[in-house]
Amino acid sequence: MISRPPRPRERGIPEATVARLPVYLRALQSLQDRGTLTVSSEDLASAAGVNSAKLRKDLSHLGSYGTRGVGYEVQYLVYQISRELGLTQDWAVAIVGIGNLGRALANYGGFGTRGFRIAALLDADPEMVGQSVASLDVRHIDNLEDVVRSKGVSIGVITTPAASAQGVATRFVEAGVSSILNFAPVVLNVPDGVDVRKVDLSIELQILAFHAQRRADGDGRAAERAGLELT
Amino acid sequence: MISRPPRPRERGIPEATVARLPVYLRALQSLQDRGTLTVSSEDLASAAGVNSAKLRKDLSHLGSYGTRGVGYEVQYLVYQISRELGLTQDWAVAIVGIGNLGRALANYGGFGTRGFRIAALLDADPEMVGQSVASLDVRHIDNLEDVVRSKGVSIGVITTPAASAQGVATRFVEAGVSSILNFAPVVLNVPDGVDVRKVDLSIELQILAFHAQRRADGDGRAAERAGLELT
DNA sequence: CCCACTTTGTGCGTGCTTTCACAAGCACGT
DNA sequence: ACGTGCTTGTGAAAGCACGCACAAAGTGGG
Ligand SMILES: NC(=O)c1ccc[n+]([C@@H]2O[C@H](COP(=O)([O-])OP(=O)(O)OC[C@H]3O[C@@H](n4cnc5c(N)ncnc54)[C@H](O)[C@@H]3O)[C@@H](O)[C@H]2O)c1
Ligand SMILES: NC(=O)c1ccc[n+]([C@@H]2O[C@H](COP(=O)([O-])OP(=O)(O)OC[C@H]3O[C@@H](n4cnc5c(N)ncnc54)[C@H](O)[C@@H]3O)[C@@H](O)[C@H]2O)c1
């Protein structure tokens, strides 16, 4: 028995690569706006803030889209990355929790440009419901299932207080949404097959503080080396 | 020639560990609020959403703060992690670009709780300057150097449009700020020794879209295996 | 037609991360 | 005083990710 047909090309793009593709895409679109037709890995890498070998290896996972001696055709690469990321289709997004942050996201224009469309805003507060934010009516959270179905929502964004986030996530999942972006500072528990990403400003600040403290320590670390370590 | 002295024990906490410490800290504080006195690595790991061996190895980088057979004393661990992250001191934060997002951040109460204090708000728009947001006067960006000095700002947050972000970053650096949190969708260029972290919602959505598309593909992939691959 | 030059795609070594699995250590009951 | 049971801390192995360095492949000039 043949162990396996040579597996033409297992569709396995490393997670680290996936996370960088959007960065490349943005750099490429900026080049495109400036009318650039082709770009070398060196130049694109520099625009994206990464090592050029890394960039080439990343792109090689999508296929062999460069021309040796020349570089990459900007427009073609934009298309290939967009397709790989799924940006050639339209994604309907629902935001739950229309407070400070939810409103900022709703009013932000930068999403529509890349295949993401804010399709619904939901909140639990009766005061909030019915208000118009960014040309959308805020609906009551009880309509979540209806809204998801009728608008074809496939990505859910959670900007409620931490205490409500798990409940909202569960309702999203039950309604069939399996991609969630969470801004609330809690670990969400979801079934396998559901993809949760979190954005946590507080964590970012704490990481910055750690490094800042280390830099500061370094300056006066002579004392520590001299013997203060014997606590 | 010896390639390198054996490096006794550089105070090296792995970057991946540093990024998780804030998550552990939050889980611990939640336990503390509920009056829990000690916690096992298994339970804490589960609350933080990680593997318990990973959690133990992470904590072991800070020292040996657990008790075999019992677990970790919650309060003591909170203190140790806070100290390691530099949260026992007070960090003054300046936000530049008081638009949708900048305002949301300024109004957010969740920072003060962990040693971060929003010390100044800055904007370039004359309409904005002088307004009061979250009990702070918005100052003109031209005062950045003054404000950094007088308020002792050590962390800069950038929420301006992409086009202005690099300029603001450079001014931050020149004013002596070497920790920057950037929300604008651009790659910032800064000298060595300056720590930049970025938060990019658009990238997060694109990563979600990639995985969502892959899941959808999988469902109907039979066709692909059957021969559609011969592009 | 060939040569010099440029740039891609990738094999390979290195170091970081994760996970397993278990000896060592501590508390507590007897 | 000692054994039992639980949990930590950490070797060791496996898996990823990164970046160097170079052969392969294309361009363009003569
Ligand atoms: N504002 C920020 O800059 C910021 C920064 C970091 C993190 N966060 C996090 O983002 C989340 C939102 O922050 P915010 O400042 O916008 O808070 P907010 O209080 O201004 O808004 C929260 C909104 O969620 C609604 N809500 C509460 N429970 C709900 C439920 N069960 N279903 C639907 N809606 C519900 C509330 O009515 C309110 O409108 C919080 O978890 C916060 O910790 C915010
Ligand atoms: N709002 C969101 O939800 C969201 C989401 C993702 C990314 N972002 C990014 O965050 C940034 C801010 O978004 P926003 O929606 O708040 O934009 P905004 O236009 O509402 O606010 C930008 C503010 O920056 C000020 N500004 C412009 N140039 C400046 C300068 N040189 N110095 C100081 N201030 C200056 C403007 O006066 C304005 O008040 C943008 O880069 C955006 O791409 C925002």
Give CA–CA dist A194/A179, Å, rounded.
6
Environment class of residue A164 by beta-carbon count within 10 Å: exposed (0-12), middle (13-18) or buried (19+)? Answer: middle
Distance A90 CA to ligand 2 centre (A): 25
- Which residues in chain B touch residue A21, judged by CB atoms under 8 angstroms apart? 206, 210
- Average per-residue pLDDT in chain B? 90
What distance in angstroms lies between residue B100's CA and the mean position of ligand 2's atoms?
A: 7
Measure Cα distances from B3 to A140, A148, B7, B9, B10 in Å.
66, 61, 11, 17, 17
Q: Tell me the chain A residues in contact with residue B107 when contact means C-beta distances shorter than 8 Å.
A: 100
Q: Whose CA is closest to atom 25 on ligand 2?
A: B97
pLDDT for A112:
67
Residue A12 token pair: 């396995």
Q: How far is the CA of A64 from the C1' of C7 (A)?
A: 13
Q: Residue A13, annotated ligand binder? A: no
Residue A88: CB partners within 8 Å, gap ≥ 6?
A: A82, A115
Nearest residue to D4, CA vs C1'? B69
**Interatomic CA distance for residues A212 and A193, integer angstroms:** 38
Per-residue pLDDT of chain A (231 residues; tens, 9 = 90+): 333 333 334 568 999 999 999 999 999 999 999 999 999 999 999 999 999 999 999 999 999 999 999 999 999 999 999 999 999 999 999 999 999 999 999 999 888 677 899 999 999 999 999 999 999 999 999 999 999 999 999 999 999 999 999 999 999 999 999 999 999 999 999 999 999 999 999 999 999 999 999 998 766 554 444 434 333
Question: Residue A106 CA: which ligand is closest?
Answer: 2
Q: How far is CA B135 from CA B119, B128, B142, in A?
A: 11, 14, 21
Residue–nucleotide distance: B38 CA to C14 C1' (Å)? 40
Supply the pLDDT for residue A220: 55
**Does B85 sit within 8 Å of A108, measured CB to CB?**
no
pLDDT of residue B218: 67
Would you say the pTM of this structure is higher than 0.75? yes
* pLDDT tens per residue across span B32-87: 999 999 999 999 999 999 999 999 999 999 999 999 999 999 999 999 999 999 99
pLDDT one-digit tens code per residue, B182-220:
999 999 999 999 999 999 999 999 999 999 999 987 665
Phi-psi domain of B87 (left: phi exceeds 0; alpha: psi -120 through 50; beta: other):
alpha
